Amino acid sequence: MSPVPSRRRRPLLAALTALLAAVALVAPPGPARAADPLLSQGRPTTASSTENAGTPASNATDGDAGTRWSSAFADPQWIQVDLGATAAVSRVSLAWEGAYARAYQVQTSTDGATWTTVFSTTSGDGGTDDLTVSGTGRYVRVYGTARATGYGYSLWEFQVYGSTGGGSGCDTATNAAQGRPATASSTENAGTPASAAVDGNPGTRWASAAADPQWLRIDLGSVRTVCRVVLSWEAAYARAYQIQTSTDGATWTTVYGTTTGDGGTDTVTVTGTGRYLRVYGTARATGYGYSLWEVAVNTTGGGTIPGGGPLGPNVITFDPSMSAATIQGQLDTVFRTQESNQFGTQRYALMFKPGDYSGINAQIGFYTSIMGLGRNPGDVRIHGDVTVDAGWFNGNATQNFWRSASNMQVFPSAGFTRWAVSQAAPFRRMDIQGDLNLAPNGYGWASGGYIADSRVTGIVQPYSQQQWYTRDSNVGGYLNAVWNVTNSGVVGAPATSFPNPPYTTLAQTPVSRDVPYLYLDAAGAYQVFVPSTRTNASGASWLGGSTAGTSIPLSQFYVARPGDSAATINAALTQGLNLLFTPGVYAVDQTIAVNRPGTVVLGIGYPTLVPQNGVVPMTVADVDGVRLAGLLFDAGAVNSPVLLQVGPAGSSARHAANPTSIQDVFFRIGGAHAGKATTSLVVNQDDALIDHIWAWRGDHGTGIGWTVNTADTGLIVNGDNVTALGLFVEHYQKHEVIWNGENGRTIFFQNELPYDPPNAAAWTNGSRVGYAAFKVADSVTSFEGWGMGSYCYFNVDPTIAAYHAFEAPTRSGVRFHDLLTVSLGGNGSITHVVNDTGAAAQGTATVPVNVVSYP
């Protein structure tokens, strides 16, 4: 922006005039509530426009009086904040920059579409407007209609104060039932489902069969204290009914009953506690069934954070009715942004509704997930291509990180799908009707990847891929293998023949499950499917019928968006909601604590959690069945002791029947910015399942250096009976992996030792040069690993000779199969493979040293 007029301070008389104007324009507010909290800070904020990239809408709600939002130089303009829940708004404070509004309104809305004006002025004079208002809404908007200067509108801070219910009184502003899962004893027809009574739309209704008794049940998500229920009856109302509560959905307590109902709207004051509320009709007033337009439930002791909601602007959804040209245009726009955007902040999820799509080529760049929204892969059929290539990097695919494809059937235009990726690029629940080429065009370098629960009807063609892991899939065969191709539970995989050719094959995967995923049900509503655990699995889970598991409606998830605070996320988890992170970067200023058994924490489009001030960004309690999937933890500038901790220290409960899983969860130290974290992932919980992680201390990008992006260890396993499927851990400064738990299993491990030790003395462990990449603790009596490789590339001091890559106690219960070490181009060496066994990996030929079994 060009120089602006100096910010002026408001005279006392003008302030009084504006306050009187506000009082005249709105109904008199209730008693002042001096303790009403600030609701807007850090909340998602959008605007009609921004002057430039340095003045985004989020600056007005960041709590920093030195940053600002500014708009384009035109009328009208607006800025809007999403409070996350319906609130009783009592005060709005606007700190204008020199480019202020002469005329503007403050408005509230429950849905972000229909607005109510709670303050208006045509004589604004800048400075700070501290406005007492009375309004209700989840969204609050400042709507400017006349600028005071030739510039746009500009706000240092936009603050909204109010209450979402947290006191002892009845929170009548928040409907705890809206959008919650609802079921009924019956429905009259498909057009009158139970969900229509809690959708917030007074034009839709639930109607039952014409019989007595009938009931409508609502799951509030957590145990709540219910203080009021509002029933909006259609003409087919109840003469006699009860309102009941339950903590478990089985045993019910009646909190209200009548035998003289007269229809219309019943506003009933009640006292009851429960997670579930039921309207139980025993006598109809007409010959029809029971019919309710809406059921509203009000609670005390805390406001309800709503579940569900929009997935945000970076989730792009495609429909079969769209033209191929329209779809291709949107795909190309995203790819142009993301093709070489290795360390940018943009994130995208590309979602295809069930149906057929023809003539498209979806090229997938950084931080982009492409996914089908069907229940099974064959529900979304791509007659065209889903492609990853490496033209942006001159045909070298070794940096094609952070992208994914899932839940689609592809009929490739040239008979093969090219998926030339390296780490953190999962390929899940894909059905490729043809060959799968894992190399870039021109057969340039590529550095390892991961496939699960998929089918390739043709041949998997690794070509230049150094290592690769596939599990629980069906393939038509393999063309070749470079250093090691590992398969577990893959029908059609070649038998073990390591090291010539270098295949490692397990007929079954001992324990596995696929990641939770979004899909659309028959009514077009989002659900999250949670696959069941499989033991001794072989082949894709969906080929013999739908994958076993359960569905959770999106209304039972808090849909997190960039700008949401960790406090809000924790409140949602405490309330009983699951968690869906939408694409974007999240600043985490306190630990996100996952404490409820069975909680699903799912990310789409590579949501990235950055800890602030050295906090631990996420922990999981010692509870059953937590599912963590699709997250990227990016270390902050201040050292965090750990980025993800699963189970507190000393965890001892068994979880074999329902383990916690960590799937497609990635860790980064440096690259996007200077970051520090002592350990990336600590697993203290017994029976946990680690299914595809990449823990990476950056070797390129921003904030890279031996004393800059410091990190000791990628993974520490302290729990017993932990299974790891697909470990990618690289460049840490001490042991990359430390395994302290008993009865552990690892199928596939890919590692590069740190590139940048300045010299041998700086990287010495006791009397030995270097730290083993994979360290099984001396106390462990039972462990087994298959298909594990470690490379060295000491580009700062190529004279370094690491002593060994694998270190373990020598006893019969600790076993390794198919190990390898490699010196990349002769930049340093590794003297032994495991303990004192194996020849030195050295020389410029880049030929692996193999150990088939140990001991």
Q: What angle do CA 520, 526, 531 make, to 5 degrees?
A: 75
Spatial distance between the Cα atoms of 661 and 666, rounded to a whole number of angstroms? 13
Q: What contacts 68, CB < 8 A, 6 or more positions away? A: 55, 59, 60, 97, 154, 155, 156
DSSP string, 736-762: SEEE-SSSEEEEEEEEE--S--SSSGG
> What single-letter amino acid sits at 265?
T
- Cα–Cα distances in angstroms (integers) from residue 711 to residues 127, 527, 675, 740, 760, in the given order: 47, 38, 9, 19, 18
Annotated catalytic residues are 752
- Helix, coil or strand: residue 402: coil
Q: Minimal CA–CA distance to 736: which of 787, 822, 667?
A: 667
> What single-letter amino acid sits at 62?
D
Q: Minimal CA–CA distance to 774: which of 692, 833, 847?
A: 833
Residue 325: Cβ within 10 Å count: 9
Tokens found for residue 122: 């045509």
Rg value, the chain, Cα:
29
Contact 804, 831 (CB under 8 A): yes
Residues forming beta bridges with residue 713, ordered by sequence position:
679
Contact 290, 236 (CB under 8 A): yes
| Alpha-carbon dihedral sign for residues 44, 50, 56, 60 | negative
Residue 253 phi/psi, 5° resolution? -120, 130
685: left (phi over 0), alpha (psi -120 to 50) or beta: beta
Spatial distance between the Cα atoms of 690 and 548, rounded to a whole number of angstroms? 20
Spatial distance between the Cα atoms of 535 and 347, rounded to a whole number of angstroms? 35
